[in-house]
Structure 1
Amino acid sequence: MSLYLIFFLVLCVIASYGFLRRFLTRYGLALAAESARQRRTQAFRHAFDCLSDLMRLLRLMQQYRGLYAIRYLGVDQHELLVERAIEIERLFSLLLQQLLSQDERFLAVVTPNNFKLVRYQWQLAVNPSFTVSAEQSFQQQTQLIEKIINWLRELARKQIEPELPSLAQGQQADQTLLRLRETIKQFAHTLPELAEMVARMRGLAMMLALARHTDIGKRAQIIHLMQQAETLLNKQSTLGGQLCTTIAQPVIHEAEQACHYFLRRLREQLLADQPSLGVEVIYQEGTAAVDALFVWMDQLKAGLLGRL
């Protein structure tokens, strides 16, 4: 074998080795990047699952609060209360298990001990053996519901928002990122607050409808919440169609219409000089408005997860 051939073969081996090393390096980097992306996606979905369960807990606690309040005033809602109580306890247990597998960012907002404390305070607030008034129980439950809403907002800010840049790709990444941040804010902060305003009005309105005398305090609270809700609703209905293209406009329109209808009914038939709105109607129409807002939130969630 000539020296030229040997030299040529050596060069081929060296070139092949260099190519193979570059290929393996790039392949390894690609695998690492894909693995990191999958971990982010899994963490993103895990956080969203927990947020969704917190929202379900919020919704049930709101329903329970309204039913529990009118129970004090002689309306028998025992079966519904028991049903909601079982669902609430089941969700408390499920969320507590989820907290044990969350990362540091999540636990910086909600620790298992904090969650156990809220669960214990809720059990005390709805314990019929404690001699508190309907107003006191309503207020205690409202304070705990507000904690859940605060958790939703903080968890979205610390757990979800840091992952959004990875979802904003392409030439319009900056605009996409801005829309995603607005969507998260609407999903985990603004709409839950709006739902709580409507749900609180539902509970106060039922108590007011059952009162044997004009309760100026409750009327004032309802009017104040009504003004806040209308302002927030008008802003969100305008913003909603600009965020995720996957959101069907009929969903936003239905939520807007259900809320405005409920508020108009309260204004015209409950806050009038001669109230004519019954407790069952208030509960049904208020619940329809709250449910429509949660459907809106579900659509936002689907739009966000669809980008993964």
Structure 2
Amino acid sequence: MSTVLLSIVGLLLVIFVWQTMVRPPAPVNLRSDVGVRRSLADCEGLLRLIHSLQQHRGMCAAWLAGGQQFEAPMRGKRRDVNHDIEALVAIAEAEAMCDSPCLTPYELDLLDTQWKELCAELDGIGVRPGVDDSITRHSLLVSHVLSWLKSLGERRVAPFAGPAHDKLLRTWLDTLPQLGEHLGQARAIGSSAAARGDCSPAERMRLMFLASRAESLMHQAIADAPRLPGALPATERVVGLIGILRSALPGSPHAPSAEVFFGDATAAVDAVYAWMNACEDALRNALAPAKPSAG
């Protein structure tokens, strides 16, 4: 009996030593501090690429519709997109080492290939795409990156945010990026119509849908994450753009020029991105480890 008791005590001692000295510490504190900060930075990189793609889409649409003044800034923005894609290589490689990667090098290479093929066609290699085709292909690229953003946030940040920050996280990862994308699509369609001097019934219907959806997303963001810095100026810009989409499109009285419309739409989109930054700052502060009190 004493031999059995000694064996049990010895086994418990071995387990205790393994847990306290051999087994690596639980990753919660490390990942909630270092790992989550890295994941937040990775999300920032994806948002930069989304922003650049959206801007290029709008400039390209206006240029294809006859706005030659958009060509130079469009080519400059193309360099930004290339840089933003290159910056994601390290993120994709790190994700590939995870059990459930949110983004793989293969997926990034595929997006890069599709992007470069589009640019080559815009430069006249092969058949140059029309306005609608260009907007559609840009939007598909944006949708891929938006899905990576949502996946990365849900898998790498959400587990450490907790239920108390669900709405804040959803606002940053989904609601505001979707708001920016709806406004970005409206910018592209509206800029091309303004450059052409005419808004077709199909374009008008699409713009009405985008305006309605953007308004709904804006109200959802306000309800889920109220009192964030940047929310008020962003909502003012968004409401102003929605008003233009509903009452001052090409073909209507007091319709803005392509340059003016693009500028107003860009101010609204950029204000939404500033709202996203405020949302991320609030999330980063909420996830920061508590500092020990002095004394």
Same fold, TM-score > 0.5, yes or no: yes
Residue 65 of structure 2 corresponds to residue 80 of structure 1 = no
The aligned counterpart of 1:160 is: 157
Residue 249 of structure 2 corresponds to residue 270 of structure 1 = yes
Residue 263 of structure 2 corresponds to residue 284 of structure 1 = yes
Please tell me the residue identity of whatever aligns with 2:218. Answer: L
Describe the SS at the equivalent of 2:94.
Answer: coil
Please tell me the residue identity of whatever aligns with 1:201. Answer: A
CA contact (8 A) 2:89 2:108 kept: yes
Find the aligned partners of 2:212 and 2:250 in 1 and give their Cα distance: 14
Find the aligned partners of 1:45 and 1:137 in 2 and give their Cα distance: 36
Describe the SS at the equivalent of 1:53.
Answer: helix
For normalisation by structure 1, the TM-score amounts to 0.79
Q: How does 1:221-236 map to 2 (within 5 A)?
A: 221-236=206-221
Please tell me the residue identity of whatever aligns with 1:266. Answer: L
The aligned counterpart of 1:66 is: 58
The aligned counterpart of 1:49 is: 41
How far apart are residue 271 of structure 1 and its match?
A: 6.2
Unaligned runs of 5+ in 2: 1-12, 289-295
The aligned counterpart of 2:4 is: none
The aligned counterpart of 1:14 is: none
The superposition leaves residues 138-171 of structure 1 with CA deviations (integer Å, 9 ceiling, x where unpaired) of 111111111111111121112211222xxxxxxx
Please tell me the residue identity of whatever aligns with 2:165. Answer: L
Residue 92 of structure 2 corresponds to residue 99 of structure 1 = yes
Residue 193 of structure 2 corresponds to residue 218 of structure 1 = no
Find the aligned partners of 1:118 and 1:215 in 2 and give their Cα distance: 31
2:280 to 301, 304, 307: 301
1:151 to 140, 148, 153: 148
Q: How does 1:101-250 map to 2 (within 5 A)?
A: 101-102=94-95, 104-105=97-98, 108-127=101-120, 128=122, 129=124, 130-131=126-127, 132-164=129-161, 177-241=162-226, 247-248=228-229
Please tell me the residue identity of whatever aligns with 1:94. Answer: A
CA contact (8 A) 2:57 2:135 kept: yes
CA contact (8 A) 1:54 1:152 kept: yes
Find the aligned partners of 1:116 and 1:223 in 2 and give their Cα distance: 35
Describe the SS at the equivalent of 2:143.
Answer: helix
Deviates more, 1:49-58 or 1:271-280: 271-280
Q: Taking structure 1 as reference, are residues 125 and 106 closer, same or farther at Cα in structure 2, changes over 3 Å only?
A: farther
CA contact (8 A) 1:237 1:253 kept: no
Find the aligned partners of 2:109 and 2:248 in 1 and give their Cα distance: 41
CA contact (8 A) 1:209 1:270 kept: yes
Find the aligned partners of 1:219 and 1:264 in 2 and give their Cα distance: 13
How far apart are residue 67 of structure 1 and its match?
A: 0.4
How far apart are residue 275 of structure 1 and its match?
A: 5.6
Which contiguous aligned blocks of 4+ residues in structure 1 show a shift greater than 6 angstroms? none
Describe the SS at the equivalent of 2:238.
Answer: helix
> Max radius of gyration: which structure?
1
How far apart are residue 192 of structure 1 and its match?
A: 0.2
CA contact (8 A) 1:69 1:203 kept: yes
Describe the SS at the equivalent of 1:102.
Answer: helix
Describe the SS at the equivalent of 1:145.
Answer: helix
Describe the SS at the equivalent of 1:109.
Answer: coil
Aligned length: 266
**Looking at both structures, which has the greater relative contact order when contacts are Cα pairs under 8 Å and sequence separation is at least 6?**
2
CA contact (8 A) 2:85 2:112 kept: yes
Residue 100 of structure 2 corresponds to residue 90 of structure 1 = no
Deviates more, 1:255-264 or 1:65-74: 65-74
**Identity over aligned pairs, percent:** 19
CA contact (8 A) 1:66 1:206 kept: yes
Find the aligned partners of 1:115 and 1:103 in 2 and give their Cα distance: 11
Deviates more, 1:109-118 or 1:119-128: 119-128
Deviates more, 1:144-153 or 1:177-186: 177-186
Find the aligned partners of 2:32 and 2:145 in 1 and give their Cα distance: 25
Find the aligned partners of 2:64 and 2:25 in 1 and give their Cα distance: 58
Q: Taking structure 1 as reference, are residues 105 and 223 closer, same or farther at Cα in structure 2, changes over 3 Å only?
A: farther
Find the aligned partners of 2:64 and 2:105 in 1 and give their Cα distance: 32
How far apart are residue 106 of structure 1 and its match?
A: 8.0
The aligned counterpart of 2:5 is: none
The superposition leaves residues 229-252 of structure 1 with CA deviations (integer Å, 9 ceiling, x where unpaired) of 11121222232217xxxx33xx11
